[in-house]
Amino acid sequence: QVQLVESGGGLVQAGGSLRLSCATSGRAASTYHMGWFRQAPGKERQFVAAVTRDGKSTNYADPREGRFTISRDNAKNTVYLQMNSLKPEDTAVYYCAAQIPQFGASRSRDTDYNYWGQGTQVTVSS
């Protein structure tokens, strides 16, 4: 089992940047694929980005946009989400999640993740 703790959220003006961190404890982070999701008030939880357990492959909700970058440091058991050029519509609670690798699981589907953090609030003012 693994525990996830997000940090790095806060209030930022439009156009600004934030870096979210997700610290894992328990089993080694390298055991899991990791993802970031977000949920805005009144909306469903939305996939943001994911990275494989070895860090070699990433996928994004909108790869063409290029504003967000997911990365991981398995030596530090930490996953990051660098967010640039933030917009008010990025305002949401951001969640880190861990997925046990298994055949057929999708890294962009929240129901395929096994463990979740408590979330960190990101608010982007206009």
Q: What is the pLDDT of residues 74-107, one digit of tens each?
A: 999 999 999 999 999 999 999 999 999 999 999 9
Query: What are the distances in angstroms from CA 100 to CA 39, 66, 106, 110?
Result: 22, 27, 11, 12
Secondary structure percentages of the chain, helix, strand, coil, to 5: 5, 50, 45
Look at 5-14, 39-48, 60-69, 109-118 and tell me which has the smallest mean pLDDT: 60-69
Q: Are 44 and 30 in contact (CB under 8 A)?
A: no
